[in-house]
Structure 1
Amino acid sequence: MDPPFHAPDLTSDLIDSSNQCLHPHNPKMTLSTATGPTSTYSVAGHLKTRKPKSTSEEIGDIIRAFLQHFDTTDLPSIWDPTLEALCLAEAERRGYSTDVLRPYLTLGLNITVSAYHYIDDDNVKVFIAFFCMFLIYLDDVYPDDSDALGGVPDFTKRFTSSKKQSSKILNDLADLLTESSQHFGKVAADFIVHSALKFITGLILEVQSKQESTQRVEEYAIFLREQCGLAEAFAMFIFPRDLPFHLYIQALPSMRDFIDFANDILSFYKEECSGDTNNFISLLARARGSPKNQVLCYVVTQCLESYERVLRILSPHQEAYMAFTEFTDGYLALHLGMKRYRLSELGL
């Protein structure tokens, strides 16, 4: 067994003593306070005022500071035409509604090809791509689609009683979930199914609580994020079936936080551009009565601390440790490589 890896303190150069994000190029200035006009003296001693940064520049600085803690120079691809052809053929064989699901399969393939690029078993990759496809579809169409509106609230009841779902797509999802134990160990398969059911419940809560005062309760914003993140499933996908779960299960809470928070950070810019205020950072800012960029800094801190904990917990177990670091490379590649996140607009 390799000697334990001692993870570096990833947050020490990002956070000052007041728990604020430090500017990546000027450690004397915090990102959360670098947003207003600042005064400096010219060479001649005259006071001059610098123009405040735009919101996009502030977000870009914070995200750039976050990414500096990772090696992003040689990231995996987000596309694999061979796997795409395999998934399309299998979807056709299963009779999936590919005319409706094709855009969501593309997103599922992006996730699978990048985040799980190191997995050799194509059957596992097809399962992950289909899993993502169905749940991204529900996230997109509920509650506007009539089939989803009627079927999502009853999905868990029908699933646990082995009854047919109210629509073909929901029924195909239910059937897919029963296959999880074919590709993952007992505990991992349970977490995958549990994560999907939590996600569906989270969709209902998210829609019903958009205008409720509970959105201003910090604990509820955090709870809702955990319900809707699918992070436990994404974490279980990381590890091969034959790897004993006790080697990585203690890192699950921190893996979940890293997966959720990294997505929150790297998708925040596109959400701000689109005017979406129903995301975790916006909800937490509203609950705290704090500026969004200050909350973004907080989430960066939490994400890096979670990542460091995962490395520390997995360090005695080389196979689990390497699988997680490979996943991290792919997870970052997903966000940096997909146009939907618009990070190229920030020069990232």
Structure 2
Amino acid sequence: MTIKTQLPELPADAESNLPGPRTADIGDILRPLIAQFDADLNYTGAEPGDDLEGVLRGMHEQALKIGIPYPEGTHSWYSFNVGVYYAHLCYPSHPLDVRIYTGIYTWLAVLVDDGACKDPKQWQNFMIRFQTGLSQMTPLAQAWADYLRLSYEHYAPIVANFIITSSLNFTNANALEGLELPRMSRTRGGENWPYYLRDKDGVSEAYVWMTFPKALYPDISLYMEAIPDMNKYISFTNDILSFYKEEMAGERGNYMHNRAFYERKDVYTVFREVIREDVAAHRRVEVVLRGREPYTRAWREHAMGFVAMHKAMNRYRLWELGLGERYTDSFGRMTSTRQR
């Protein structure tokens, strides 16, 4: 006798059939929710590092060695600036060489994310070549492989291993999204799929482990219990602070909409639930790290800096809600401290 394991497909309208808000109303719905999210986190802004010029100079030197151009106004230039913001706002107490490393890592990760959408087969093949020790086929792929291995210079072996495995999952998940996701038919049994995909394709875990370079934070046992909730915090905070610009653009392939589809809920109900879950995860991290300086401060800097990065970057459009922050002067040059 054959046991049938295939579950019925969900109808296309499985997400709530309630009409969505008009574009003009989206901000009115999300503004108070995001403001309350800030309050619940006790958000006080970032504590930027004190050597922005050193980060910029070091990242520029590394970019020249890598050989990937980033002329102003291009996608590469934008991606480079994401790296600067991450290193500057999220890891302010890290040694300069580690901040430069995390900035370049971020620049490359954004380029890989974009490249995997355009050519997923190349990044499927990246995995094969990385695992078998072969040279990569493009300068970007080779730089990505090199920077994953470079993590051992700045992080303890176990930590670097997790940074690499998270980065490889990110690369593979992006290839999966391009190659296989368009062919998938959703069923009633896939309710855990949205978080699985979100966890793999967002590289949050790598950034969590990067909070603790070996030169400053050698005792992994003091923070490893909090890693799952740190990972959830980084993933969900990005989802929350990206949601306004995605709603305004009419995007439906994100975690919020995927979860709403499977749970048969209105997406704004899911948004509220994700905020509650995110704040709860952050609180649990605080419990684990209580009294464990300097690890407590390292996480606080990362957690608050990550919010600040979203508020500071035009990409997320939070200025339209009155929730943006500025880290540039009147000439558009990046500054070490918040201007508002």
- Does structure 2 retain, via aligned residues, the 8 Å contact 1:199–1:228? yes
Matches of 2:258 and 2:45 in 1, distance apart? Answer: 34
Structure 1 segments unaligned to the other structure (5+ residues)? 1-34, 37-52
- Does structure 2 retain, via aligned residues, the 8 Å contact 1:92–1:98? no
Corresponding residue of 1:341: 316
SS of 1:163 mapped into structure 2:
coil
Corresponding residue of 2:27: 56
Question: CA offsets, 1:19-78, max 9 Å, x none?
Answer: xxxxxxxxxxxxxxxx99xxxxxxxxxxxxxxxx92321111211111112344443459
- Does structure 2 retain, via aligned residues, the 8 Å contact 1:77–1:333? no
Question: Which structure has the larger Rg over C-alpha atoms?
Answer: 1
Matches of 2:43 and 2:281 in 1, distance apart? Answer: 19
Structure 2 segments unaligned to the other structure (5+ residues)? 1-18, 324-340
Pick one of 52, 62, 65 that aligns with 1:93.
65
Corresponding residue of 2:207: 234
SS of 2:77 mapped into structure 1:
helix
Matches of 2:156 and 2:198 in 1, distance apart? Answer: 26
- Does structure 1 retain, via aligned residues, the 8 Å contact 2:105–2:147? yes
Corresponding residue of 1:209: 181
RMSD: 2.3
Corresponding residue of 1:180: 151
Question: CA offsets, 1:220-270, max 9 Å, x none?
Answer: 111000001211111111113142111111110010001101111111001
SS of 1:143 mapped into structure 2:
helix
Call closer, same or farther: CA 1:343–1:186 in 2, change over 3 Å. same
SS of 1:141 mapped into structure 2:
helix
Pick one of 286, 292, 301 that aligns with 2:261.
286
Pick one of 116, 136, 143 that aligns with 2:91.
116
Matches of 2:181 and 2:83 in 1, distance apart? Answer: 27
Corresponding residue of 1:329: 304
- Does structure 2 retain, via aligned residues, the 8 Å contact 1:265–1:296? yes
SS of 2:41 mapped into structure 1:
coil
Matches of 1:322 and 1:186 in 2, distance apart? Answer: 23
Matches of 2:245 and 2:48 in 1, distance apart? Answer: 21
Note if 1:84 corresponds to 2:56: yes
Which residues in structure 2 correspond to 1:172-321 (within 5 Å)? 172-207=143-178, 208-210=180-182, 212-214=184-186, 217-242=190-215, 243-321=218-296
Letter aligned with residue 113 of structure 2: D
Note if 1:139 corresponds to 2:113: yes
How high is the sequence identity, in percent, across the aligned residues? 26
Letter aligned with residue 240 of structure 1: P
Deviation at 1:97? Answer: 4.0
Call closer, same or farther: CA 1:149–1:202 in 2, change over 3 Å. closer
Deviation at 1:150? Answer: 3.7
Matches of 1:215 and 1:110 in 2, distance apart? Answer: 40
Pick one of 131, 134, 142 that aligns with 1:163.
134
Question: CA offsets, 1:187-209, max 9 Å, x none?
Answer: 11001101110001111222321
- Does structure 2 retain, via aligned residues, the 8 Å contact 1:143–1:149? yes
Matches of 1:317 and 1:163 in 2, distance apart? Answer: 42
**TM-score normalised per structure 1:** 0.79
Deviation at 1:210? Answer: 3.9
- Does structure 2 retain, via aligned residues, the 8 Å contact 1:210–1:278? no
Matches of 1:154 and 1:60 in 2, distance apart? Answer: 43
Call closer, same or farther: CA 1:276–1:77 in 2, change over 3 Å. farther
Letter aligned with residue 206 of structure 2: A
Question: CA offsets, 1:132-173, max 9 Å, x none?
Answer: 1111112123232xxx44420111111111001121210111
- Does structure 1 retain, via aligned residues, the 8 Å contact 2:121–2:175? no
Deviation at 1:184? Answer: 0.5
Matches of 2:25 and 2:265 in 1, distance apart? Answer: 18
**TM-score normalised per structure 2:** 0.81
Pick one of 104, 114, 119 that aligns with 1:130.
104
Matches of 1:267 and 1:149 in 2, distance apart? Answer: 24
Letter aligned with residue 309 of structure 1: R
Matches of 1:97 and 1:161 in 2, distance apart? Answer: 28
Letter aligned with residue 236 of structure 2: F
Letter aligned with residue 163 of structure 2: I
Letter aligned with residue 314 of structure 1: L
Note if 1:70 corresponds to 2:44: no
